[in-house]
Structure formats: structure tokens, C-alpha cells
């Protein structure tokens, strides 16, 4: 029969505890090895707002609206400028025609007969569908002399009875020998007026 020995019991308990500790360490190592072999799962993180360089939707919309308004303002200013330039050009042309008309009327005032340049001037009526219904006449002036010359021309518009209803004057200045110009004269009468244009006078000066 065996007898219990105090020292032997303590050694058995210590051995059991040591074995348990070794198993725990081994299990922990195995767990670490398995975790290292697979990709660890990461908790999603919200993006850092400070890292963005763009604008918020409301700011983008505000900037787009501002750009559109600026473009509209620029287009309106350009259109106004174009209208102003057109008006200035029209006024300049009207002033030039008025000066030419006054010059021609003055040159023809004392001319007897039809003048010395009738063979150098021709007229041709323009189709009304090309003149917005107005009565227009193309006047062809050709310098057939050997020197530079200017011309004063008088166009009369006669009604069906042959009565002069309207008279227009025009001046063609500084034509070189052989040079030709073709100004257009319009009647100020109503578009439906039945008038016939006629070369009344042409004077070279």
C-alpha cells in the first residue's frame, strides 16, 4: 500500500499547472498565426472634409448663376455697342448723302438744258421685291473723259400724267478717267405710288 508524500503532491500540482500554462500559450500562438494569415477587417471611417478642395453644391450653383448673369450682361453691352455703332454709321451715311445732295443741287442750279454729262450717266429701276417695296433707282456714272471729274445728277419722279412729283439730287465726286460708280436713289413717296424715274440733268464739274 502506497503512502501519501507531501512533497510528491506539490510537485504533481505544479506539473499540472505548468502543462495548462503551456497549452494556453500554444493556443494563443495558434490564434495569432491564423489572424496574421488573413486580412484583418477594418472599421469604415468617414472622409475628412478638410481634404476636399471642391465647392458644395449650393456654392457651385451660386457661382454658375453668377457666371450666367455676367455673360448675359456682357452680351447685352455688346449688342448695345453694336446698335450704337450702326446708328452712328447710318447717321454718317445720311449726312454724307445730304451733303452730296446739296452740292449737286447747287451745281445744277444755273445749268441750262440737261447738262454736259447726260451721255455719261444712266439710270435703271430696281425690282421692288429687292427694295422692300420702295421705288429705287440705280444711277450709273462713268467718267468718259481723260481727267478726274465730279458729277451732279438730278432724278425726277413723274406720275402717270407726266407731272414731277419728286426730285432727288446726288453727287459723285472725284472719278478717275474710266472709273464708274453706281449709287442708288430712293423715292420718299409711298411704296404703292405709280411713279416713273427720269434723268433730268447731269453736269460734269
pLDDT tens for the 205 residues of the chain, in order: 444 444 444 454 444 444 444 444 444 444 444 444 445 555 555 555 444 445 556 666 677 677 777 777 777 776 666 565 544 544 444 445 667 899 999 999 999 999 999 999 999 999 988 888 889 999 999 999 999 999 999 999 999 999 999 999 999 999 999 999 999 999 988 877 899 999 999 999 9
The string of DSSP letters for the chain reads -----HHHHHHHHHHHHHHHHHHHHHHHHHHHHHHHHSPPP-------GGG--S--HHHHHHHHHHHHHHHHHHHHHHHHHHHHHHHHHHHHHHHHHHHHHHHHHHHHTT--TT-S-GGGEEEEEPPGGGTTT--EEEEEEE--SSS-EEEEEEEEEE-TTS-EEEEEEEEEEEEPTT-EE--EEE--S-TT---EEEEEEEEE-
Predicted TM-score (pTM) of the model is 0.54
Amino acid at each position: 500500500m502506497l503512502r501519501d508524500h507531501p512533497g510528491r503532491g506539490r510537485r504533481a500540482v505544479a506539473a499540472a499547472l505548468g502543462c495548462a500554462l503551456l497549452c494556453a500559450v500554444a493556443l494563443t500562438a495558434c490564434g495569432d498565426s491564423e489572424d496574421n494569415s488573413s486580412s484583418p477587417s477594418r472599421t469604415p471611417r468617414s472622409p475628412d472634409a478638410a481634404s476636399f478642395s471642391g465647392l458644395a453644391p449650393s456654392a457651385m450653383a451660386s457661382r454658375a448663376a453668377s457666371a450666367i448673369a455676367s455673360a448675359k450682361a456682357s452680351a447685352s453691352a455688346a449688342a448695345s455697342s453694336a446698335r450704337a455703332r450702326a446708328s452712328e454709321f447710318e447717321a454718317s451715311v445720311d449726312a454724307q448723302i445730304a451733303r452730296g445732295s446739296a452740292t449737286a443741287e447747287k451745281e445744277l442750279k444755273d445749268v441750262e438744258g440737261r447738262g454736259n454729262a447726260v451721255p455719261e450717266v444712266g439710270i435703271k429701276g430696281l425690282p421692288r421685291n429687292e427694295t422692300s417695296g420702295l421705288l429705287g433707282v440705280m444711277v450709273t456714272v462713268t467718267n468718259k473723259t481723260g481727267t478726274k471729274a465730279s458729277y451732279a445728277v438730278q432724278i425726277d419722279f413723274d406720275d402717270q400724267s407726266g407731272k414731277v412729283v419728286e426730285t432727288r439730287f446726288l453727287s459723285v465726286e472725284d472719278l478717275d478717267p474710266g472709273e464708274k460708280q453706281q449709287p442708288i436713289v430712293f423715292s420718299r413717296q409711298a411704296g404703292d405710288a405709280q411713279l416713273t424715274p427720269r434723268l433730268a440733268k447731269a453736269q460734269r464739274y
